[in-house]
Amino acid sequence: MKRIKIKKLDIATWASFIMFAASAIIVAVCLPEISNTFSTNLAEGGGLETARSVVILATLLLAGILSQRLGKKKFLASGQYLIAAGLLLGSVAQTYPTIILAVMLMGAGAGFSEALLNPLIIDLHPRESGRYLNIGHAFYPIGVMTFALLFGELLTLDVSWRIIFRIAAVGSLGVAILFTVLTFPPERTEIKVNPRLFTSILSRGAFWLFAMAIMLGAAIESAFTFWSRTYVGVYLSEIPRSGAIAVVLFAAAMAIGRFISGYLANKTSLNNIMIGSGLLGLVVSILIPMASSLWGFYALLALAGLATACFWPTIMAEADNYLATGNSTLMFILLACAGMVGIGLTPWILGLIGDSSGLKAGFVLIPALFIVLILVLVFERRLTRHRLGLQTQG
C-alpha cells in the first residue's frame, strides 16, 4: 500500500471542505432558532436549503465555463470570500427574504468550491484519484461534525445564532486567504469547454446513470444532515446539544466511512463498496423511524453515516474511470449539478411532508431512495462488466 503524500495545497483543500461543510450545516443546526426568529414553518425552513442549492447549480456551471480561462485559484478563493460575506449578511438579517439572500450568497461561494475542489484533487493526485477523493471528502463530514458540536454547544449556552454565523465567517475568511497565497499546480490539458462538449457528455446514457446515482446519494445525505437536529428536537429531546450530537455522530461516521472507502478502493471494486453501503443503509433507514430512545436513534444514525459516506466521491471516481470525456472538470461539475438537485429538493420535500403528516413520516422517504439507488448501482455494475467484456474480446 502506497503512503499518502500530503502537500500544502492538500491541507488548504481539506480546510476548504471543512468550511464548505460549516456553511452547509449552519442553517440546519440553527434552524429551530432561525424559525423562531422569523416565524417560519418546516417547509420554509427546508426552502432555505433549496434556495442555496439553486444558486450552487448556477454557480457550478459558471465556474466550469470560466475556470479554464481564469484558473481554479481565483474561483476557489472567491468562493470562500463569498461564503464569509453570506454568513455576515445572515448574522444581521431582520427579515426572512434577507436570510434567503444571505443563504443564496453562501450558495454562490459553495458552488465554486463544489465545482473545483474535485478537479484540483485530480490535478494533485492523478494516479490515485479514488483514494484521494475519498480522503479529501472525508474532511467534509469532519467539518460537519466539528461545527455541529460547536454550534450546538453554543446554542445550549444561549449564544445567539447570529454570533454563530459571525464565527463561521471568520473561518471562511481564513481559508480564502490561504487559497490566495498558495501556488497551484499547472492546469491539466483538457478539451476546452464548448457547446459540443456539453452535448457530447449529456448525450451519453452512462453519464445519466452516474448522475442518477449521485443525485440519490446526495438526497439521502442531505435528508439526514439537514433534518436530524430537528427530528431529535421534535421526538426525542428538546436540548439543542442533543440534536447537534445527532448531526455530529452522522458526520463522524461519514468521515470514518470515507477513510474506509479510500482504503478499500485498492482492494475491491468501487461498485462493490457502493452496493454494500446501499444495502446497509436500506436496513438502517427502515429502522430509524422506529427508534424510541435517543441512544437508539444515535446508534442507527451513526450506521446511516457509514452507509452514506462513500456515494458522492466514489461515484465521481467511478465516472472518471468509465467516461472518457476529455474534460474531467466539466464532467465533475455536471455530476455535481445532479447531486445538488438531490441536496436541494430533499430537505424541502421532507419539510412539506413534515408539515402535513409529521417529520417521522418524511423519514420514510429515505428507504425508498436507498432502494432506487441500489437498483441503479446494480445496473451500473452490469454496464461496466459488459464494457470490460468487450475490451477483453477486442
Q: Which of 39-43, 125-129, 315-319 has the lowest mean pLDDT?
A: 125-129
Average pLDDT, the chain: 83
When pLDDT is cut at 50, 70 and 90, the band that residue 304 belongs to is very high
Enter the pTM of the model.
0.72
10 Å Cβ neighbour count for 363?
20
| Residue 249 C-beta-side C-alpha neighbours within 13 Å | 20
Q: Which residue has the cell 452514506?
A: 308
Q: What percent of the chain has pLDDT over 90?
A: 22
- Position with higher pLDDT, 91 vs 394: 91
Amino acid at 163: I
10 Å Cβ neighbour count for 347?
30
10 Å Cβ neighbour count for 304?
28
Residue 213: predicted pLDDT:
92
Residue 327: predicted pLDDT:
67
When pLDDT is cut at 50, 70 and 90, the band that residue 130 belongs to is low
When pLDDT is cut at 50, 70 and 90, the band that residue 354 belongs to is confident
Residues 310-329: pLDDT tens digits? 888 888 878 877 776 666 77
- Position with higher pLDDT, 239 vs 308: 308
Q: What number does CATH give the domain 8-393?
A: 1.20.1250.20
Handedness of CA 160, 251, 309, 20 (dihedral sign): positive
| Top mean-pLDDT range of 43-47, 156-160, 277-281 | 277-281
295 CB burial (10 A radius; 0-12, 13-18, 19+): exposed
Name residues whose C-beta falls within 8 Å of residue 335's C-beta, 6 or more positions apart in sequence: 207, 210, 211, 214, 315, 316, 319
Give dist(CA 56, CA 240) in Å, integer: 29
Residues 159-201: pLDDT tens digits? 999 999 999 999 999 999 988 888 777 666 555 666 677 777 7
Give dist(CA 184, CA 101) in Å, integer: 32
Give dist(CA 364, CA 358) in Å, integer: 11
Domain borders along the chain are 8-393
Closest residue by Cα to residue 278 from 156, 380, 360: 380
